[in-house]
Amino acid sequence: MRALVADARRPALAGRFDAVLVDAPCSGLGTLRRHPEVRWRRGPEDITRLAALQREILDGVAPLVRPGGTLVYAVCTLMEEENEDVIRGFLAAWPRFAVDDPSRGVEGRVREALTGDGFLRTLPHRDDLDGFFVARLRAGT
């Protein structure tokens, strides 16, 4: 394995990969139960700025996903602007990607956390976990 430090908006990587995981920078508002101080550090302008960065990172790595490959987007926030809105905007701009069948390879409590849109969302009060949002996208062949 090789580690590379780079700006994911412009990754200096050649070739295509079977899978790309974007553990994206986010507001962290899904972690409030463990980090209540986050509420004092975040304002509406942060959400807008981070959503733009998240989208830029997805745009930057999308060309690296091979046909038939997987792109996973994960954030520890429950803000729709950083979750569904980012993914919807991305899918509109990159028609070769689609939401992957959310139930494939997923069972038990994870399956219960799937949303009707095919994403995964954990809720602190329901799941006794931080609030996470995950989208698994599949690149067309």
Q: What residues act catalytically?
A: 76
Nearer to ligand SAM, 76 or 111 (CB): 76
- Shortest spacing between CB 95 and ligand SAM, in angstroms: 24
Stretch that binds ligand SAM, among 3-11, 32-40, 94-102, 124-132 (CB under 6 A): 3-11
Residue 18 CB contacts under 8 Å (≥ 6 apart), including other chains: 66, 69, 70
- Shortest spacing between CB 22 and ligand SAM, in angstroms: 9
The answer to whether residue 8 forms part of the interface with ligand SAM (CB under 6 A) is yes
Q: Which of 13, 16, 25, 32 binds ligand SAM (CB under 6 A)?
A: 25
Chain position carrying tokens 């908006």: 9
CA distances from 130 to 38, 54, 111, 120, 121 (A): 13, 19, 17, 13, 10
Nearer to ligand SAM, 25 or 89 (CB): 25
The answer to whether residue 51 forms part of the interface with ligand SAM (CB under 6 A) is no
SS3 72: strand
Residue 131 CB contacts under 8 Å (≥ 6 apart), including other chains: 29, 30, 31, 32, 76, 77, 78, 121, 122, 123, 124
The answer to whether residue 7 forms part of the interface with ligand SAM (CB under 6 A) is yes
Nearer to ligand SAM, 1 or 107 (CB): 1
